[in-house]
Structure formats: structure tokens, C-alpha cells
A and B are shown apart, each in its own frame.
Chain A
Amino acid sequence: MGHIIIHQDRIKDAEAIKAFCPFNALDYVNEYLEINAACKMCKLCVKKGPDGVFEWCEDETEGVDKAKWQGVAVYVDHLEGAIHPVTLELIGKARELAAKIGHEVHAVFMGSGIRHAAEELLHYGVDHVHVYDDPALKHFRIEPYTAVFEDFITRIQPSIVLVGGTTVGRSLAPRTAARFRTGLTADCTFLDVQESTDLDQIRPAFGGNIMAHIFTPHHRPQFATVRYRIFSAPERSETATGTLTERTVPADRLKSGIEVLEVRVKEVTAGLEDAEVIIVAGRGVKKASDLAMIHALAARLNAKVAGTRPVIEAGWVDARKQIGLSGRTVKPRLIITCGVSGAIQFVAGMNNADCIIAINTDPKATIFNVAHYGIVGDLYEVLPALVACLAPAAEVLEPAFA
């Protein structure tokens, strides 16, 4: 790959240059400026640093033969055969990427008693579905699942592997990527592909305060995880296309040091991820009883109520209804935020909504940067009036319309 050379003789301001690195990776060791282990190789010093001090030196690298790695693969995330919708979203993206580079789309489906469910995938434009149906795969256990994933990748040699950013995906993708000594980019929010089949991956870092564009120039396959509701699922087509192949791996490779003793189904919280309309209560809501306004609006719009961190921490809204990087990512058709300032932590979990309406008293609130409709107003004035406006016809004659 390469390394950074420091031309000591060209340093003009010895102390100031240290502060130049945002990661504190520049230090003086025996009077010489050196790069320490904190370096992220962002190369900012090379690109933007003082003239001639930092130089990038490219090393010769022997990469893989990219032509030998063909196809875009999707891991089918499911619970007992019920396919997680993130899978369909990834299939949609995989088709788009594959079309650009003339590859085929593969889906790898592992579990127990899933043969029938696998056929459904043929309605979403997958070229080849690979099914590993084995009682040993009934529960998600890391070693057998990784062994199956490894078998699939070794046989098919896909260039790109997309995995949903679910509990299973976030455990399985890194384990498998490590087995192939290849790169994995987590929680991508944007994917595109170059003619060279290099995958352009963009993901938020530092709690979403910066975006990083990442690629995997010399390794295959290229792994990426994507959270639910980042991409759109394709339409189901009536006719089934593509092939379905049943595959097996030898039993000795399905051994595990993990034994699942019990599976408890969690109490169902009507999933926030599936909501079409969401109303969010933020810090601007002063006390728990004021949530009644939010619920009244939610009832009118057939919406789910969610909260930002302060509201969740106050215990006013169920913790499973937190939106943001430390909560859920949502992509509803409509989201109305009430008294939410728009911390990037929060925004990263909802800015893919089709329509964002934000109500906040502070015209400089950062939420207005992402809102399609920014309402500068007090939620205590706007919400009751809005509920009245949306009330059934007979009650509509409120002063609000006058």
C-alpha cells in the first residue's frame, strides 16, 4: 500500500505542525517528528499539510485477480424462515450494482426448514439462490454459519457481499470477512461500483459527524453491511426467475462450541422500523403528560410515537422507540419531529425519511438542515391547533382556519 515520509528539514513551525493531525498521531521522538500508532492514514497531512513536509509513498502491492471474483451476493437474513425485509432492500441494491458491471446476483440462504421460503426470493430478480438447509443451522450459531458462508464464497467467488446490519449480520459478516482476510465496511449508507468492480462505500463515522468514503482496492470479496431501511426494496414480480440450488457442507464443519438452550420471543413492540408515519418527541416536550398532544396527533395520522435520547432517558417513551445511532434507524414515508434540536446522533437514524417535518422554536436548530418543512414555532401552540385541524370534519371549524 504505502507510507508517509516526513521531510524533517522542511518543517517550519515545530509545535504548530503537531496540532495539524486531528488524531494526535504526530510526536517528537528524539527531536524528530514521527508518526505514532494513532495514525488513521487519512493522509490529511499529505493533502492539506504544510508544503513538502509530508509525502505519500506508494508501495507496490500484489492484489487479487479481480476478474476471478464475479457476482454480487446477498446474505438472506431471516428468523425461522421469515425473511427480514433488509434482505430485499439489499437484493434491490445488488441488482443495481450487478447491472453496472455485468455480474449476476446471488442470494445465500442458510437455516433449517427454509427450502420453501427460499423460493420467494425468485420473485425479486435474484439470478441464483443457494440454499443450505440443515438441522444444525436451526439457531444462529457463529461457527456453523461462518462455515456455510465460507463454503458459499469459496464456490461462487463473488466480488461483493452485502449483509444486513442486523444482530446476526453484525456478528456473521465480520467473522466471515476475517476468515477471508478481506475488508468489511459497516453500516454503509451509500454504495456504488466502479468499472474495476471496486465498491464505493460511504458510511458515517464519529457518531455521524463525518462521512467516510471507503474502498477495498486489493482484496476480494468486498464485504459491506447495511442497516434496515437505508435502501428501497424492489417490487415483487408475479413470475419467478432464476435458479435455486440446494447445497450442503459436511457435518463435521457444522460443529459448534455454542449450545442454544432456550429461545424466548420478546414482547412485540409494533416495530418502529415498519412504521409508515412516525411522530418524534424531543427535549422540547417539557413533561410526561404533554406527550398526550403527540399521541393525539399520532392517532390522527395513524402514526407511531418515538423519542430522542433525553425523552427515552426520562422514561416517557419506551426505550425500544428511540431513534438514532444508539437506537433504531427508520425510513418512514413521513416523520414529524416535535421539539427535536437535531443532534447528528438522532439525524443519522432518520434522515432517509421521504418527508421530514420539524417543529422547533429555534430557527437555527440543526434539525432544519434535514427537514423538508421546517416549522419555526412552539410545539405547545402548533400541536393542539394541528390536531384540531386534522380532526373529523364536524370538528374542523376551529379558529385555526379562520
Chain B
Amino acid sequence: MKIVVCIKQVPGTSEVEVDEQTGVLKRDGVDSKLNPYDLYALETALRIKQGNGARITAISMGPPQAEQVLREAYMMGVDEAVLLTDRKFAGADVLATAYALSQGIRKGGMPDLIICGKMTTDGDTAQVGPEMAEFLGVPHVANVLRIVELGENAITVEMDMASTVEIARVSYPCLITVEKGICQPRLPSFRLKLATKDRAIPHLSLQDLEDTNPKHYGLDGSPTQVKRIFPPEVNAGHELWTGPGPELAARIAERLIHLKFV
């Protein structure tokens, strides 16, 4: 079985601020990490490999520094890694990102199963997985809670549907996005770190892909554009009450009665 896991390098912290005067993002320079949701996708693939045997490829798109997260995937037990990196991929929104990744996946030959994390911590959209499935023309199931059975021609999964849990059998090739409760991800192994430190991470640029039209990638391939970024609003008309506890309690009670909550 051939599995592809999509991973992403994200900022190490989401504690970013926008300078209100200049509109510039204030962020510590180099700190970045593997998107935590992707750990569950990697672990899911690794467990399938342990149980049934599989060849796992981790794929990422980003600047050359994103090799770091693919190294981490090696340290967890992934067999192969690929980095999509090209200046032409810059400024990609969800659509252009999903398209580039789908092209990168096709390049390595269609896998049986593609696994993505539920979402990333920097974009928070949870959209890249489903859009990739569309570009690859395969069925997808999002929010997978558990893998029930790994069959010859199909995988049976439990999917989270807000008020119900559905058990669904999905034919290969297919794409799933996994919830973080699905399993406990392993830690990177030191032994694998040593064993894979010289293993290459091939780069794919635009020219290596099947579709080399630059208009389908990066900013040019992105229908959405960011007009501006700004700090969240803070409440200007708020009241701050201080005083001894019982007095505060009495004031709250009075206000709750006034506002007809009691």
C-alpha cells in the first residue's frame, strides 16, 4: 500500500501581533515547527504501516527551510519525503496550495491513501484536504475519528458529523483528514534521526510538475487576495469594576436583574 501524508511547517507560535501604527506583523523571526495536527496524520500512516505494511511519503510545500519538518517526518519513520519549493508557488491561497500539492502527489504516482491533518494552526481553514481530493478526483472523508478496518479495496472509517458518528467505507484511492483524537503521535526517534540524517529530500519545482503553467500556482493561481491585515478590535466602551468581593457581587446581581437575566 502506498500512502502520502501532507504536512506543513507553521510558525512556532500563534502569538503574533499587528503593530497598529504601521500595520506590520510583529513576529519572532525564525521560530517554526511542524503543524501539530499533522503529527496525527503521520502517526495514522505509521500505524497502518506497522499493521499492514505500507510505503509512506511525506510531502510539503514551502520555502527550502521547510525541509526541517520533512526531516522530522523521517525521524518518525516515514520512508520518503518531497518538498515542493519554487518562487512561483509564493503567495498561494487554499486553491493554489491544494493544486500544487495535488500536482506533487501525481508526480510520484497515485497513492492508495492520502492522509492530512484536520487543519493547520496558521491558516485554520481545514480546506486544503478537500480541495486536493477534488483536484485528484478521489473521494474524501473529513474529520476521521478512527480507522475501523483496512480492507483490500477500501478503508472503513468513523467520521465525526457533529451530532452523529458515521461509519463509512471509502474505496481507494481516497483522502482522509484525521482528528487529533485518532491516536497518540510518537516522538521522533533518535535512532531514526541518525539513520536518516543523510537521506535526501528531493525538491520539486514548477518545471518538474505535469502542469507547468505558472498561472495555476502561487499568487497568480489564487482567486482570493488579502486586502489588509489588522489587529482584532478591542472593546472601547467597557466598564471595569473594582472593590471588595461582596460589593462587586451585589453590583453584578443588580445588573443581572436590571438586564432581566434573573
Contact = CB atoms under 8 A, between A and B. Distances in A.
Interface stretch (A66-74, A101-109, A128-136, A173-181): A173-181
B90 interface: yes
Contacts of B197: none
Interface residues of A, number: 114
Interface string A380-396: 11111110111000000
A346 B212 CA distance: 43
B248 interface: yes
B134 A146 contact: yes
Contact of A22 (B24, B64, B93, B162): B24
Interface string B25-58: 1110110100000000000000000000000000
Contacts, number: 331
Given A22-B24, A24-B65, A301-B262, A206 B16 contact: yes
Interface in B58-87: 61-65, 84-87
Contact of B130 (A174, A369, A390): A174
A318 interface: no
Given A36-B87, A376-B241, A400 B139 contact: no
Contacts of B226: 40-42, 212-214
Contacts of B24: 22, 44, 48
A130 to B, nearest CB: 22
Contact of A264 (B22, B164, B246): B164
B142 A386 contact: no
A38 B90 contact: yes
A178 B97 CA distance: 11
B163 interface: yes
Contacts of B231: 210-211
Given A210-B16, A374-B241, A390-B262, A171 B142 contact: yes
Interface stretch (A118-126, A236-244, A251-259): A251-259
B138 interface: yes
Contacts of A187: 124-125
**Could you say which interface size class chain B belongs to?**
35 or more
Contacts of A359: 248
A25 B167 contact: no
Contacts of A382: 245, 248-249, 252
B142 A35 contact: no
A37 B126 contact: no
Given A174-B125, A212-B229, A372-B235, 11 more contacts: A37-B62, A40-B226, A79-B161, A170-B130, A209-B15, A211-B231, A263-B165, A300-B262, A301-B256, A301-B261, A382-B248
> Which 9 interchain pairs have the tightest Cβ spacing?
A381-B245, A41-B91, A183-B223, A385-B249, A207-B14, A389-B253, A22-B25, A183-B224, A39-B90
Interface of B: 11, 14-18, 22-27, 29-30, 32, 61-65, 84-87, 89-91, 93-95, 98, 121-131, 133-135, 138-143, 154, 156, 160-171, 174, 218-220, 222-232, 234-235, 237-250, 252-253, 255-256, 259, 261-262
